[in-house]
Structure 1
Amino acid sequence: MAEPTLDPQAVAKWCRTLQLDQSHCLGLSISTTILTHRQIYQIMDETLSDSRCFIRGLKQDQSGNTMRVLLELDCPVANVVVPSNLEVGNEKYKVEIVVPAEEQPIQLASQPSTQTTTTATIGPEFLNALGELVEKCAKSGHSTARYKRLPMFSGTQPLPSDEESFEAWMEQALQGLDEWEVSEALKRQRIAESLKGVAADTIRNLKLSKKDCTAHDYLEALQDVFGRTEGVSELLYQFEHTYQEKGEKLSLYIQRLDKILHQMRLKRGMDADSVDSVRVRQLLRGALPLDPVMLKLRSQGDCGTLRYNQLVKLVREEEAMLEEKGVSVKVPGTFSTKVQTVQACCAGEELAQLREQVSKLTELVTLVAGTQLQPDERAETVPSGTASQKERKRKDAIICYQCGGRGHVRRQCPSLETSKEVQTRKPPGNFRGPQ
């Protein structure tokens, strides 16, 4: 069965529970649960242009389809124009704005005759509110008695040795605001008494520029002055590009991711309900693929519902079990060392074989170079051989008219020289010669 719609009496009771002035408060009933604090502030800034509002409470109904928000304005609700219904976003989400009911004075009978008449006139709501007030007073006194002051923070650089960093101080302050069950004025006092120097000057300037500051306003101002300068988009990019390093345990990698998520929450860049799922999704994406703990987590199925403490506990248990078995949790571990040793041995054998092959190739090249002609001799021989062939062809084309042979002319003919020798030689005996 769904919860009843948000009515003025419920908003007024919510204000009394949080000890807020209901004349400065408004209630919102939104037909979705995916809106973040920043989107709610943007909607109210467009609706109430002359006033600032602060989220003091946020909860969902039992069905999980409606979000209820309690806002506190910096001026009375009667001084601003407030519409009763809105439609926001492209999906046209319906937003119902509810003004808390005014307090009705308790009217007692002028002459009550019996105790029953007086109780009936007061009503059960008054008795419930009185019981809640007594319980809060008891809790407030108990909390005040066990109160531990925050560490001092001055904002001085370099950081003094007796002070903590701003991130550590901010974490303790946020935890204190969630746990202190005291009035708003006492919360502001506890934060202010832990500040000095430049940090105290920041709060002093905030009070001068803004009236009716809250403890959350103090922390927002300090975050703007001393916090990290990255925007939400830069932090989201850094978060999505943060990967597990070689030799890093998975538990340490989760701690690094959580620090970036914490900064995104301080800058209102992420809803608290989606932090766990975003952390697990980046863990599955950014962890080393051969990490033994990550392999075990992937084999277990869906881990998106694990909270931070459950996730860290599961990872630490797996790491401790692997260490007991003698398996190194770091990547690369003992397994990688053995593989590298085998590769070194194989590389030595291959290197010896390569050296032997290179030496054989060197000998072969030397032998071939010795049998061939030098480049200069080769250059001289080739042209000379070509010229002799051309000269031989040219001589073959010449025909001797004396003997009919080839390769010489008549005046160089060998037969002509033979005939001359015969003519000059004396004839033997009775040779008369020609008549």
Structure 2
Amino acid sequence: MALVTELREWCQGESLDEDHVLLALVPKGSEAAQIEQTLETVKALGRVKVRGRMYNSKLDRITALCECRERIDPTKVPSDVKHTTTDVSWPIIIASKRSGSDGDALNPLSVLLDASSSNSSAESIIRAVGDVLSKIEKPSGENSSYRRLRVFSGTLPTPAGEEALEHWLEQARLMVEESDCSDREKRRRIMECLRGPALAVVKAIRTAEADVTPFKCLDAIESAFGTAESGEDLYFEFRLLQQEKNEKLSDFLRRLEQSLTKVISKGGIPASRMDTARVEQLLRGAIHSDLMLVQLKLRERKQSPPKFLELLAEIRAEEEYAAARIKLRFYQFD
């Protein structure tokens, strides 16, 4: 249809091989470097270079002609890719037919272009717009675009461009827990961002157990590169944490939560005691926020302690109220 025809004609005009070229429909103002970086999150494309850009008034988007180092495989290239920071979906048009489709008929944006012609009814245009929105917003299964994990190798000190173990594990566990794709796809996503010693660890456990679960992969990485301290040691460190001078109570609570999460994961205390331990240590360690602790009445609530997010919201509200009082006092004496 229209967009595939445009792609093929553009390839002929630029003397490009259409098997290595795609069209990306991107928002106005997108820089070439942004487009290339976002498309390169699709591993099957390899390196990407923008070869041309043109404004499409019907879609109110920029049509970017992009050349890929790898030959485009319709089974591996998703129908849209999400921008690396904004999560806005960018539809992708390729010349080859995707499986189970009739060429460009797969892409609802082409239907919208056809429906926008002068002899189309308002009903057909509205229906086409609905198809476009549902296609852009709906995940497309295991081949859909996703935000790739940062690189992790296990090397110390952490090289530039890599993620520290704790942050990497947090993102990786979130991906495994929240993604609805298969365990095989989750393992692939984990392994594609591993390098050096970390990759060797996962390869070793996969050799011993071909169908090892993604959670076991992450546990192995944590065991190999994480702290060797026991749950009891981590709990002892947690009990020693104190609020630093000029540290807001909300920041101290977040620091407590990070430490407490490690304690729970290592079995230092049962998860059922998490809320109680959090409040007890907040009362013990918040040495620069006595007045705020009194106002929050946490000592009276130790038998029925609030959850982390509830407690954080209460503290932040109290901090904002205190800041407003200080500002008001400043204006009064100004």
Q: TM-score, normalised by structure 2?
A: 0.51
Corresponding residue of 1:310: 310
Counterparts of 1:213-292 in structure 2 under 5 Å? 213-288=212-287, 291-292=290-291
Structure 2 CA distance for aligned equivalents of residues 218 and 252 of structure 1: 32
Distance in 2, matches of 1:223 and 1:255, equals 22
Q: Which runs of 5+ in 2 are unaligned?
A: 1-137, 328-334
1:421 maps to what in 2? Answer: none
Alignment-derived partner of residue 181 in structure 2:
182
Change (3 A) 1:274 1:178: farther
TM alignment of 1:129-144, pairs within 5 A: 141-142=140-141
Residue in structure 2 matched with residue 98 of structure 1 by the alignment: none
The separation in 2 between residues aligned to 1:143 and 1:273, in whole angstroms, is 36
The verdict on how the C-alpha distance between 1:290 and 1:185 changes in structure 2, with shifts beyond 3 A counting, is closer
**CA shift in 2, pair 1:305/1:290, >3 Å:** closer
8 Å contact 1:150–1:191 — kept in the other structure? yes
| 2:190 aligned partner | 191
Flag structure 1 segments of 5+ consecutive residues without an equivalent: 1-138, 328-435
The Cα shift of 1:296 comes to 0.8
Alpha-carbon distance in structure 2 between the residues aligned to 1:266 and 1:174: 13
SS of the equivalent of 1:155 reads coil
Aligned partner letter, 2:235: L
Contact 1:244-1:250 at 8 Å conserved across structures: yes
Aligned partners of 1:289 and 1:295 also within 8 Å: no
Name the counterpart of 1:322.
322
Shift of residue 256, structure 1, vs aligned partner: 1.6
Q: 1:319 is aligned with what amino acid?
A: E
Q: CA deviation at 1:146?
A: 4.4
Q: In 1, Cα distance between the equivalents of 2:204 and 2:228?
A: 20
Structure 1 counterpart SS, 2:236:
helix
Give the distance between the partners of 2:146 and 2:284, measured in 1 at CA: 42
Q: Mark the CA change 1:227 to 1:309 in structure 2 (over 3 Å): closer, same or farther.
A: same
Mapped contact 1:151–1:169 kept (Cα < 8 A): yes
Residue 174 of structure 1: how far off its partner (Å): 1.0
Aligned twin of 1:163: 162
Render the CA deviation track for 1:12-45: whole Å, top value 9, x for unaligned.
xxxxxxxxxxxxxxxxxxxxxxxxxxxxxxxxxx
Q: Deviations over 1:361-383 (max 9, x none)?
A: xxxxxxxxxxxxxxxxxxxxxxx
Residues 264 and 143 of structure 1: is their aligned pair in 2 closer, same or farther, counting only changes over 3 Å?
farther
Change (3 A) 1:197 1:233: same
Q: 1:148 to 1:321 in 2, by over 3 A?
A: same
Q: Match for 1:315: what amino acid? A: I
Answer yes or no: is the 8 Å Cα contact 2:249–2:289 preserved in 1.
Answer: no
SS of the aligned residue for 1:311 comes to helix
Contact between 1:244 and 1:253, CA under 8 Å: does it hold in 2? yes
* CA distance in structure 2 between the partners assigned to 1:269 and 1:178 by the alignment: 23
**Cα distance change on mapping 1:290 and 1:178 into 2, 3 Å:** closer
> How far apart, in 2, do the equivalents of 1:208 and 1:142 lie?
27
Q: 1:300: how far off?
A: 8.3
Percent of pairs identical after alignment? 34
What displacement does 1:163 show?
1.0
Task: Output one character per residue of 1:280-336: Cα deviation in whole Å (capped at 9) or x when no partner.
Answer: 222123222762211211278416442222211111111111122129xxxxxxxxx
Could you say if the C-alpha distance between residues 218 and 269 of structure 1 is closer, same or farther in structure 2, counting changes exceeding 3 Å? farther
Q: Which residue of 2 aligns with 1:201?
A: 200
Structure 1 residue 204, shift from structure 2 partner: 1.3
Paired with 1:226 and 1:275, the residues of 2 have a C-alpha distance of 25
Give CA deviations for 1:148-204 in whole Å, capped at 9, x if unaligned. Answer: 211111112221111111111010011111101121111111111111111101111
Change (3 A) 1:325 1:140: closer
Task: Give the secondary structure class of the aligned counterpart of 1:247.
Answer: coil
Deviation, structure 1 residue 245: 3.2
The TM-score with structure 1 as length reference comes to 0.40
In 1, the alpha carbon distance for the partners of 2:143 and 2:271 equals 28
**Match of 1:306, SS?**
coil
Distance 1:323 1:180, change over 3 A: same
**How big is the shift at 1:275?**
2.4
Would the alpha carbon gap of residues 201 and 235 (structure 1) be closer, same or farther in structure 2, given more than 3 Å must change? same
User: Deviation at 1:276?
Assistant: 2.6
CA distance in 2, matches of 1:277, 1:180: 31
CA distance in 2, matches of 1:279, 1:166: 24
Q: Give the superposition deviation at 1:247.
A: 3.3
Decide whether the 8 Å contact of 1:140 with 1:181 is kept in 2. no
Task: Determine whether 1:150 maps to 2:149.
Answer: yes
**Does the aligned pair in 1 maintain the 2:149–2:171 contact within 8 Å?**
yes
Q: Which residue of 1 is the match for residue 96 of structure 2?
A: none
Alpha-carbon distance in structure 1 between the residues aligned to 2:315 and 2:243: 14
Q: Distance in 2 between matches of 1:266 and 1:157?
A: 23
Task: Label 1:218 to 1:290 Cα distance change in 2 as closer, same or farther (>3 A).
Answer: closer
**Larger relative contact order (CA 8 Å, sep ≥ 6):** 2
